[in-house]
Structure 1
Amino acid sequence: MKTAVYHSPFGDMELIYEEDAVTALKMADKEIAGEAPEGLALKAFRQLDEYFQGKRKTFDIPLRTHGTVFQEKVWAALRAIPYGEVRSYKDVAEAIGHPKAYRAVGMANNANPVFIIVPCHRVIGADGSLTGYGGGLPMKKALLGLEKNHRIS
């Protein structure tokens, strides 16, 4: 496992990766000393830069997540939410065939190890409210605003 620090508009993020796949992207909760980015980390940083500039709508970075079968289904459903659109927790639960599991979807969303790349910020409350986000609600609001402003009709 390697670690690299990505300097995002929201603060430092920790990218954890192996030679062939990214395993985590999260806000750095403390000052970390990552390695100089190389290979896959450089590709991830380039794609994150493009995303934050409104030029990238999807990521094509290989991922290796380690969740339960249910979590993996939720994370796959999150990747299917189009750029600039949102879904409710209930919508995601229905999409994976567990219509009453919206609270479990929320827990899986919260456990997403690769935020932004797996767009858990696109999931909102059934009433349209912004609900919890690992990067904080201001970041969630900003990401949704970024996507709304750069959405291709």
Structure 2
Amino acid sequence: MTAPHTAYHNIASPLGAITLCANDQGLLGVWLARQTSLPADLGQPQANHPIIVWASAELADYFAGHFAGSDRSFSVPLVALGTPFQLQVWQALRTIPYGQTWSYQDLAEAIGRPTAARAVGMANGKNPLSIVVPCHRVIGKNGRLTGYAGGLERKAWLLEHETHTGSAERTD
């Protein structure tokens, strides 16, 4: 059995360049420029890979402020690799409503592990699907912005963007 074809492409965004990586099953990663968790081998450059095209279109909608879908979540298939605990945390991140924030404690409680806030924070930091799996929506228990692999200024921008587009109706 051969490994699925892996492709990547860089897109422009208001936050700078974003690298998308996908295989034939789904999106493997979304990394902001200067993010240190970008893997060394991303596969072959391929702008027209169907999953990359899909993710690019959804991200364009997100940044344009008219994100598709009533629940304002991404529909592109996701196939990020992680431990069972990381996958559980990343799945829970996808339940944080658009334009809202949770604390690490809230996230730990959501997965039924109320004493695991630090472990949740570590798993959150390893999320390879920035923006699509909204780890930027997790803040400190005291309401302060805390670490974000893409940089705190980008986290603040994303939260502000969602706050200003959260109640806007789609006009197209």
TM range (shorter): over 0.9
Which residue identity does 2:49 align to in structure 1? E
In the comparison of the two structures, how many residue pairs are matched? 152
Which residue identity does 2:134 align to in structure 1? P
**Structure with max Cα Rg:** 2
Q: Provide the TM-score with structure 1 as the length reference.
A: 0.94
1:45 to 37, 56, 73: 56
Unaligned runs of 5+ in 1: none
DSSP-derived class of the 1:8 partner: coil
Cα deviation, residue 10, structure 1: 1.1
Cα deviation, residue 39, structure 1: 1.3
RMSD: 1.7
Residues in 1 aligned to 2:52 and 2:14: alpha-carbon distance in whole angstroms: 18
Render the CA deviation track for 1:11-52: whole Å, top value 9, x for unaligned: 11111101220011112439x993323311111111000001
Q: Provide the TM-score with structure 2 as the length reference.
A: 0.84
Render the CA deviation track for 1:35-83: whole Å, top value 9, x for unaligned: 3233111111110000011111210000001111111111011000000
Which residue identity does 1:39 align to in structure 2? P
**Correspondence for 2:19:** 14
Runs of 4+ in 1 over 2 A off after TM superposition: 32-38
Residues in 1 aligned to 2:48 and 2:97: alpha-carbon distance in whole angstroms: 29
Residues in 2 aligned to 1:37 and 1:108: alpha-carbon distance in whole angstroms: 31
Percent of aligned pairs with the same amino acid: 44
Note if contact 1:5-1:35 (Cα within 8 Å) is conserved in structure 2: no
